[in-house]
Chain A
């Protein structure tokens, strides 16, 4: 079936480095994508989103890139800080009859070393 998955389950970086978290999706009908951050014992926290009519979107210290040709999504975090340590999930929505239903990837654990 259609699914969203991540290339790397874990990522360790030094404080101040840039981090890149990748995600592959298989549903070509997906038209909306979100990155969430989840800290231990908490619910997912919205980071940034992007619609399929865009290929890049920037927020505060974060950038999301969308490559529809190869069905790939990435999250770039600039100047990574220890507080960025968490599990990061990509999620996609296919719209249409699936409107409102988010499909999540398994997650990437980001560890930032001081």
Chain B
């Protein structure tokens, strides 16, 4: 059973470009979470999604950031018009219902904005 998969593992963008980060949850998991980690800091919650629904987006910046988890395919975290402050590691986690406290993390996407 493959773990949580994220791609790309490394992404370099110039200021003003768009970044798309993908996450495929573990098989059988229908809950996906996105977290951001700045260097030498803990992870910060961004958004919690179930298939076709955003459950909690209290950690998402109000502008430029969006997330989706379609019925088919991976979850996507999209950052429009990236700025240098968006440079970070972005982690996706998934969990199986109903015990969706236990979250399993992917390897992360390291975004660098030049």
Contacts and interface: CB of A to CB of B under 8 A. Distances in A.
Contact of A107 (B42, B95, B105): B42
Nearest to A31: B101
B48 to A, nearest CB: 4
Nearest to A109: B40
A86 interface: no
Contact of B101 (A45, A49, A104): A49
B56 A101 contact: yes
Interface string B46-75: 001000000110110000000000000000
B12 interface: no
Most buried by B among A36, A43, A102, A104: A43
Contact of B100 (A4, A46, A49, A100): A100
Contacts of A100: 31, 33, 48, 55-56, 95, 100-101
A38 to B, nearest CB: 9
Closest 5 CB pairs of A and B: A104-B42, A43-B105, A100-B48, A104-B43, A44-B105
Contacts, number: 63
A49 B102 contact: yes
A99 B100 contact: yes
Contacts of B56: 97-101
A43 B108 contact: yes
Interface in B68-86: none
Contact of B45 (A44, A103, A105): A103
Contact of A43 (B45, B91, B95): B91
Nearest to B31: A100
Interface in A79-107: 89, 91, 93, 97-107
